[in-house]
Structure 1
Amino acid sequence: MTCTENWSTCNGFFLLALSLLAIILNLTPLIADYVEDGRLFYNSISCYEWWLPGLFGGGLLVLPAVSMTLAARKKGSCNSRCGMLSSSLLCVFSIIGGLYCTLIALFAISKGPLICEKGSITLDRCDYSLRNFSDFQSLNFDLVWYTNTSCSPKQINDSVTVHGISQKNSLDFNLVPDFDLNITIDEDSQKLIHIAVYASLAIVGLLEVVTSVSQIVAGLFGFLCGTSKRHKGQSQWRG
């Protein structure tokens, strides 16, 4: 293998690890929501978890580049100039996904969990339009919400009281059966989950961008210089 192929191998495995980590991080608050109340869209820690920064941005958008990068470094049909160039082109989507993951995570850190936001603490107040991310001046990283001890506890106002969003006011998408373990996630735990998940997602997104840029460079070198492929014990350059 040439240095370009070794370079692509490292990039591919690193991107794969980052994409899996992003998916796991995004699933963490979703699983916490479900374990606490036995349903989704009911007692979410944050609006931003439903933007799917890790599942979509840091995960699904990165996987095509991962598959092509790992295929291009093998001694197969993709181990060619075309394969290397394709891995570079697909990394554009990885960069977009990484930036999306980082941007959503930064806004989530700035805003804090739902219990610490002003106004309604239900999912009904969540606005899933991209115009919310046009004003970077609104970002505030003094983390007052993390040290604030007066965050509003979530309460149910009608038929149920579950330290969370009322069933009447929540988004009623019961996609999975109720499964209540009677586990309550207190305010401090919600804050800790929120900052740990989104700080990690921001770092993962940035690392995906850096690694994708690295693979673009490696892919372009492979496209310009060619790759190696062995046939019957002999090393040949493949263009």
Structure 2
Amino acid sequence: MCTGKCSRVVGVGLWPLALTCIVCNLLLCFPDWDTQYVKGGGRLLTPEVLYLGGLVGGGAMILIPAIHIQATGRQGCCGNRCGMFLSILFALVGVAGSVYAVSISALGLVNGPLCQVRESNGSLGTWGQPFLSTHEELSKQSYLFNTSTWDTCVNPPGVVQFNVILFSLVLAAALLELLLCGVQVLNGLFGCLCGTCNKKQARDPKQTQY
């Protein structure tokens, strides 16, 4: 596969991954599909949601590079050695964005959601992150693998499952983005040295046979 075609594949592949990160980050703002948790500056939302790892890192910082990277695979102002060099810079921006998304989503999974817990006497307690300390105790099993502890969170209902699924989707999509952007860095380097090998699809009018 020539460098131009590789750029098209990378560019097209980044679009659905970026949209997945954006949609998942937006959905994380509405646990239990309720808008009340967004009010008050999102003080009742899991802190990692407000870091916008999926919206900014895996979303905006990937969509912009994807536009240029895809353009280098077509004939035109970007389908040349200079365009390939710029695609390396854009791909590095994508690498930074995907690394940010991976870091935030991983933290969201490790730290667990912000929720209202139930006290031992059965009454509703304060809001906090009850699973935050689990990663500090190496001998204690993570809540991710101990689903019996998920009932600790009472409000928002089902927030643990909600966060685990969506943060996992962001993490998976961001890892694929990181892989594709890394491929484009190497592809852009070869494109600078060897060209894009884009073939002209339109024939010269002067060569048209009558």
Shared fold per TM-score greater than 0.5: yes
Matched, 1:20 2:19: yes
For residue 75 of structure 1, give the secondary structure of its aligned residue in structure 2.
coil
The aligned length equals: 188
For residue 204 of structure 1, give the secondary structure of its aligned residue in structure 2.
helix
Indicate conservation of the 8 Å contact 1:15/1:211, yes or no: yes
CA positional deviation for 1:152: 4.8
Classify 1:95/1:42 alpha carbon distance in 2 versus 1 (closer, same or farther; 3 Å): closer
Partner of 1:70: 70
CA positional deviation for 1:232: 4.4
Classify 1:146/1:99 alpha carbon distance in 2 versus 1 (closer, same or farther; 3 Å): farther
Structure-1-length-normalised TM-score:
0.69
More helix by share: 2
Indicate conservation of the 8 Å contact 1:95/1:208, yes or no: yes
Q: In percent, how many aligned pairs have the same letter? A: 25
Classify 1:80/1:53 alpha carbon distance in 2 versus 1 (closer, same or farther; 3 Å): same
Classify 1:110/1:80 alpha carbon distance in 2 versus 1 (closer, same or farther; 3 Å): same
- In structure 2, give the amino acid aligned to 1:211: L
- In structure 1, give the amino acid aligned to 2:160: K
| Rounded Cα–Cα distance in structure 2 between residues aligned with 1:99 and 1:61 | 11
Partner of 2:152: 151
Classify 1:116/1:199 alpha carbon distance in 2 versus 1 (closer, same or farther; 3 Å): farther
Q: Give the alignment's Cα RMSD to 1 decimal.
A: 3.0
Partner of 2:6: 7
Indicate conservation of the 8 Å contact 2:44/2:115, yes or no: no
Partner of 2:190: 221
Indicate conservation of the 8 Å contact 1:33/1:45, yes or no: no
- The unaligned stretches of length 5 or more in structure 1 are 124-136, 155-184, 235-239
Partner of 2:50: 50
| Rounded Cα–Cα distance in structure 2 between residues aligned with 1:49 and 1:17 | 20
Matched, 1:233 2:203: yes
For residue 55 of structure 1, give the secondary structure of its aligned residue in structure 2.
helix
Structure-2-length-normalised TM-score:
0.77
- In structure 2, give the amino acid aligned to 1:214: V
CA positional deviation for 1:32: 3.6
Moved runs in structure 1, 4+ residues, more than 6 A? none
Partner of 1:104: 104
Cα deviation, 1:47-102, whole Å, max 9, x if unaligned, reads: 11100010011011112210110111111111110101111111111111111111
Matched, 1:121 2:127: yes
CA positional deviation for 1:199: 1.1
